[in-house]
Structures are given as structure tokens and as C-alpha cells.
């Protein structure tokens, strides 16, 4: 006997139980509210749009990541619907896109655009600027240049357990402390961030001078390693992170191994470290290429100046 074929022409979607639907709609309302709060904070200036982008890129499915690009752009003061459409066309981003759904290049284009926009339209310089970059890129040299040529820039003086090098002055280049003192500073919460650098000595940023300078309306520059930059970002999300890049990979290799004093194994280890460190560039707000120390220093200092009329 022939059995009837199952009917495949009509399929019924099972209705979710009432309790699930209520929960889902509550969650949707809460998510919409959370997104509205983010946009309101950007609109009022309470939150930097760069910080929103950073969180959206880190957590594409989080509150920030689920905001649509046009909604994000129009929450930035002085960007209206027309401007937002033009900007999206220029950046080649479809209006339906959410921040978390952007491709790698779109992310970068949007971030660069927002960084420039904030730079041109903000009223004051960035309060806390962190200069970091891979080993041997020359951030110490850029910081020394700033110390000599821009005496008005406040450079944070770190504490370190490393002994002083010839010519280094206590309280100017570093506060040189022993291990016990460094432990005490950590325990007392006196450090904004700290890290063990090159598996050797510990370095940390004293918290109080940074907070006092910012409270007084001044800007502060920190020249620290990449781990430290990440910690500052966690502790103070409004900080601006600047990544110093070498002119090319070959040039970095030359600077790393050029002296010829390290064994081939040590050279290899350093190159590997530099490769990993270079990948961190994506986490930073600005990139400055160190072709020329004076020019690189100027670009960093520019970020700390009041914005109007800035290049």
C-alpha cells in the first residue's frame, strides 16, 4: 500500500512561548535604551566618539557594536543627517551597517575620520596622551626631544627599579626606587599603571601628578610601553593613545639588530617581540611615523594643544 508523502508545502513556524516573547521584547527595549544612552553621552560631550568606536570594535555584539553607523555619526555634535550620508559615501560604508559589523578597512577609515573630526572640532587639547610603540622605534628619543624643545608639555616622570644610566637625573628622567619601595607604591595604589619591561625591571606611572595636572586643566604626556598603554586605557578610557611607527619594517630591523652586539638568537627574539608589538597598532587612536624626531615630536605635541586652528 502506498503511504502518503509528508506535506512539505505548508510549514508552520512554532510560536515561542509567551514568557520568551516577553523576555525578548524586554531585552530589546533595554538594549535600545543602552544604545540611546551611549548616543546621548556622545552628543553631550560626556563621552568621546573615539572611545565608543574602540569598545564597538572590541565587542561587535555589545551595546556600542550594535549602534548603526548613521546613528553614531549624527550623535557627534555638528554632524547632521545630510553630512552623515555624505561622510558614509566617502568612507564607502553602507547606511545599514552597524559599528561592530564593519570590515577591517572600513573600521580604520571611520576611526581616522572621527579622530580628525574630533581634532578639528574639539575645544581643548587631549588631556592625557600616551606615547607607545614597538621596541627600538625611538619613543624615548621623541620624549627627550619634547622635554628639551617643548618645556610647556608636562611629561609624566615614571618610577623604575632599573638603576640610573650615566647622565640620568633623579626626578627628571625617572624616580629610581628599589623593589621594596615599588611594592609599597603598588600596594598603596599610587601607580596609575605599571609593568615589567623586557622581563627585567619594573616601571610605573605615579597617579597623583597625572590626576592633579588633568584636574588643573593641563595635558600630560606618558611615554610608556604597550602593556602600560593598555592599562591606562582601562583605567582612564578618555586617554588618547598614540602609536609611534618606524618608517618601515626594514628600518626597525636595522635599529634593532644594527649594533651587532646581540647574538643571533637574541636578535631573533627581539624581532619576534617587535612583530607582536606592531600588531597592537590597531588598538591606538593615532599613528605617528618616526621619520624625523622633530616632526614626530611636533605631531604628538599638536594633539595636546587646543584644537581650533590646529593643523
In the complex, the residues that contact ligand 5GP under the rule CB under 6 A are 139-140, 158, 162, 193-195, 197, 203-205, 223-225, 227-228
Give whichever of 42 and 241 is closer to ligand 5GP, judged by the CB atom.
241
Instruction: Give the nearest distance from C-beta 153 to ligand 5GP in angstroms.
Output: 16
Handedness of CA 190, 192, 195, 200 (dihedral sign): negative
**CA distance linking residue 153 with residue 143, whole number of Å:** 10
Q: Which is nearer to ligand 5GP, 132 or 303 (CB)?
A: 132
CB of 201 to ligand 5GP, least distance (A): 7
Nearest Cα to Cα of residue 219 among 158, 118, 300, 111: 300
Instruction: State how far the Cα of 60 lies from the Cα of 54, in Å rounded to an integer.
Output: 10
CB of 169 to ligand 5GP, least distance (A): 13
Closest CB 186 distance from ligand 5GP, rounded Å: 12
Comparison of 29 and 279: residue with beta carbon closer to ligand 5GP: 279
Q: Kindly tell me which of 197 and 289 has the beta carbon lying closer to ligand 5GP.
A: 197
Closer by beta carbon to ligand 5GP, 63 or else 143: 143
DSSP string, 233-258: HHH-TTPEEEEEE-S-HHHHHHHHHT
Q: How many CB atoms lie within 10 A of CB 67?
A: 24
For residues 158 and 205, is the Cβ–Cβ distance under 8 A?
A: yes
CB of 113 to ligand 5GP, least distance (A): 29
Radius of gyration of the chain (CA): 25
Nearest to 243 by CA among 134, 142, 110: 134
* DSSP secondary structure letter of residue 157: P
Distance CA 71, CA 111 (A): 15
Residue of minimal CB distance from ligand 5GP?
228
Judged by CB, which is closer to ligand 5GP: 64, or 223? 223
CB of 258 to ligand 5GP, least distance (A): 16
Closest distance of CB 206 from ligand 5GP, Å:
8
- Asked if 216 contacts 29 with a C-beta cutoff of 8 angstroms, the reply is no
- Looking at the Cβ atoms of 110 and 185, the one nearer to ligand 5GP is 185
| Shortest Å, Cβ 50 to ligand 5GP | 22
Residue 102: strand, helix, or coil: coil
- Angle in degrees, 0-180, between the axes of helices 293-303 and 139-149, rounded to the nearest 10: 70
Rounded distance, CA 50 to CA 231, Å? 17
- Residue 88 or 222 with smaller CB distance to ligand 5GP: 222
Q: What is the DSSP letter of 93?
A: -
Amino acid at each position: 500500500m502506498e503511504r502518503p508523502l509528508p506535506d512539505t508545502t505548508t510549514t508552520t513556524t512554532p510560536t515561542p512561548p509567551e514568557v520568551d516573547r516577553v523576555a525578548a521584547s524586554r531585552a530589546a527595549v533595554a538594549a535600545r535604551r543602552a544604545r540611546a544612552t551611549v548616543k546621548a553621552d556622545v552628543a553631550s560631550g560626556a563621552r568621546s566618539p573615539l572611545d565608543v568606536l574602540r569598545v564597538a570594535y572590541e565587542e561587535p555584539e555589545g551595546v556600542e557594536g550594535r549602534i548603526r553607523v548613521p546613528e553614531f555619526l549624527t550623535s557627534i555634535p555638528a554632524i547632521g543627517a545630510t553630512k552623515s550620508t555624505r561622510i558614509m559615501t566617502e568612507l564607502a560604508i553602507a547606511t545599514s551597517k552597524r559599528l561592530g559589523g564593519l570590515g577591517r578597512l572600513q573600521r580604520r577609515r571611520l576611526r581616522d575620520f572621527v579622530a580628525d573630526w574630533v581634532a578639528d572640532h574639539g575645544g581643548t587639547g587631549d588631556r592625557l596622551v600616551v606615547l607607545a610603540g614597538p621596541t627600538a622605534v625611538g619613543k624615548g628619543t621623541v620624549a627627550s626631544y619634547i622635554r628639551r624643545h617643548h618645556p610647556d608639555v608636562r611629561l609624566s616622570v615614571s618610577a623604575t627599579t632599573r638603576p640610573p644610566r650615566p647622565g640620568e637625573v633623579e626626578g627628571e628622567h625617572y624616580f629610581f626606587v628599589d623593589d621594596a619601595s615599588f611594592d609599597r607604591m603598588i600596594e598603596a595604589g599610587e601607580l596609575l599603571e605599571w609593568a615589567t619591561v623586557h622581563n627585567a625591571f619594573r616601571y610605573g606611572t605615579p597617579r597623583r601628578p597625572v590626576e592633579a595636572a588633568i584636574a588643573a586643566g593641563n595635558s600630560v604626556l606618558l611615554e610608556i610601553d604597550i602593556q602600560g598603554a593598555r592599562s591606562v586605557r582601562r583605567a582612564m578610557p578618555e586617554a588618547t593613545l598614540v602609536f609611534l611607527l618606524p618608517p618601515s619594517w626594514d628600518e626597525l630591523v636595522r635599529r634593532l639588530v644594527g649594533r651587532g652586539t646581540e647574538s643571533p638568537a637574541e636578535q631573533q627574539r627581539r624581532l619576534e617581540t617587535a612583530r607582536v608589538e606592531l600588531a597592537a597598532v590597531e588598538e591606538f587612536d593615532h599613528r605617528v611615523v618616526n621619520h624625523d624626531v622633530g616632526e614626530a615630536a611636533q605631531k604628538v605635541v599638536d594633539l595636546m594643544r587646543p584644537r581650533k586652528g590646529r593643523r
